[in-house]
């Protein structure tokens, strides 16, 4: 896939909600790419635009209230945003599928789990009801639901949380999509089940050589399965690198903040450092770097080592996502949107740079 177009390419995607003074800029130029067989984790707080990006890619964003104001989404080189509705509908399920956070509400309560999986075989593959149910049972078996033959006949509310998510995964994989978007697939589950679901997703991805976008705010979930990580803040990608590089040399203070706010077994520090403040209101994103009001490093003003820049730069100039010179980074490089990213890359992740 090196020469050909990537499986999915999102370029400078911009989405707004609302009108006039209440316009919320939810996505402000999001770009990322996913190759076949690769897992891209999209990290970020609630409201950072992770899910909206996913819904825009899938073409299931509610418009209105949403409005796509710019950018491009290309699936294997094919531009999707301007594409025919019917073409997009046929791509969904067939080429790209999505699983949701809350599997209970994402499964229709009035049908058996099997019937819902079978629906796709019946309507998209023209199978008979009976054959489709047999295939549904096979799929449930593939996602490691025990007793699949009996369980196809059960309703979603008779499944446990983890089982429901497995059923949801089975449903989304029914037509062998090449791209799977998992929107916080483990958030509604308890920790032990989370790990199982992540393993399952990872295993299925490897078996099918699917591209996967894993949307989450859980750093622990990401560490195990992601090839690359994109960190989002206020509708922008603020840092992107391969997983190992990002964990070893986080280049954006926000990424560092996220890491400091998660308990670690290998750390002697007893206390967690939450990121102060709240994510910015998307109707009123701060000028300059959107993270500066919460950033412990924004106010360098002369205290920064060999500082030729003042802290004002954070307040006035929007840092662009740029490639950093990080010798440890993989072939995809290490990109970050911080004026001082080079200083952070050089420092170890635990090092506290607070002035």
Residues at the interface with another protein (CB under 8 A): 58, 60, 64, 89-94, 97-98, 100, 102, 105-111, 119-120, 123-124, 144, 146-147, 150-151, 153-155, 158, 160, 163, 168, 171-172, 174-175, 192, 195-196, 199-200, 203
Beta strand extents in the chain (DSSP E only): 8-17, 24-34, 39-43, 66-75, 78-79, 96-99, 179-183, 211-216, 228-233, 236-242, 322-324, 334-336
Residue with Cβ nearer another protein (25 or 120): 120
Q: Shortest Cβ distance from residue 250 to another protein (Å)?
A: 29
For residue 34, report the phi and psi dihedrals to the nearest 5 degrees.
-130, 130
Q: Shortest Cβ distance from residue 23 to another protein (Å)?
A: 19
**Is the bond leading into 141 cis (omega within 30 degrees of zero)?**
no
What distance in Å separates the CA atoms of residue 244 and residue 258, rounded to the nearest whole number? 16
Residue with tokens 């629906």: 119
What distance in Å separates the CA atoms of residue 97 and residue 150, rounded to the nearest whole number? 26
Residue with Cβ nearer another protein (49 or 93): 93
Q: Shortest Cβ distance from residue 157 to another protein (Å)?
A: 8
- DSSP structure string for 84-136: -HHHHHHHHHHTEEEE-S-HHHHS-TTS-HHHHHHHHHHHHH---HHHHHHHH
| Alpha helices (H) along 226-311 | 243-248, 253-260
Residue with Cβ nearer another protein (180 or 336): 180
Q: Shortest Cβ distance from residue 37 to another protein (Å)?
A: 19
């Amino acid at each position: 896939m090196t020469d050909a177009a990537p499986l999915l390419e999102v370029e400078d995607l911009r989405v707004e909600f609302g009108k006039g003074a209440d316009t919320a800029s939810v996505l402000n130029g999001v770009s990322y790419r996913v190759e076949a067989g690769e897992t891209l984790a999209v990290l970020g707080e609630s409201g950072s635009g992770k899910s909206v990006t996913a819904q825009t890619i899938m073409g299931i964003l509610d418009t209105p209230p949403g409005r796509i104001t710019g950018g491009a989404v290309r699936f294997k080189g094919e531009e999707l945003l301007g594409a025919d509705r019917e073409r997009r509908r046929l791509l969904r399920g067939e080429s790209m599928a999505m699983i949701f956070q809350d599997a209970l509400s994402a499964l229709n309560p009035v049908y058996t789990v099997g019937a819902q999986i079978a629906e796709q075989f019946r309507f998209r593959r023209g199978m008979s009801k009976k054959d489709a149910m047999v295939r549904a049972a096979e799929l449930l078996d593939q996602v490691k639901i025990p007793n699949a033959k009996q369980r196809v006949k059960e309703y979603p509310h008779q499944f446990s949380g983890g089982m429901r998510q497995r059923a949801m995964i089975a449903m989304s994989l029914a037509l062998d999509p090449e791209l799977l978007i998992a929107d916080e697939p483990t958030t509604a589950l308890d920790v032990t089940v989370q790990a199982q679901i992540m393993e399952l997703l990872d295993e299925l991805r490897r078996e099918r050589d699917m591209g996967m976008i894993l949307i989450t705010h859980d750093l622990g979930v990401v560490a195990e399965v992601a090839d690359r990580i994109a960190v989002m803040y206020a509708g922008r990608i603020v840092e992107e690198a391969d997983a190992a590089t990002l964990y070893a040399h986080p280049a954006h203070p926000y990424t560092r903040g996220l890491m400091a706010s998660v308990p670690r077994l290998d750390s002697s520090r007893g206390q967690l450092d939450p990121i102060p403040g709240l994510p910015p209101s998307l109707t009123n994103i701060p000028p300059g770097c959107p993270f500066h009001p919460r950033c412990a490093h924004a106010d360098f003003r002369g205290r920064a080592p060999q500082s030729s820049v003042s802290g004002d730069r954070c307040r006035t100039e929007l840092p662009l996502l740029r490639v950093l010179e990080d010798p440890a980074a993989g072939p995809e490089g290490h990109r970050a949107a911080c004026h001082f990213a080079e200083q952070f890359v050089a420092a170890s992740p635990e090092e506290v740079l607070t002035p």
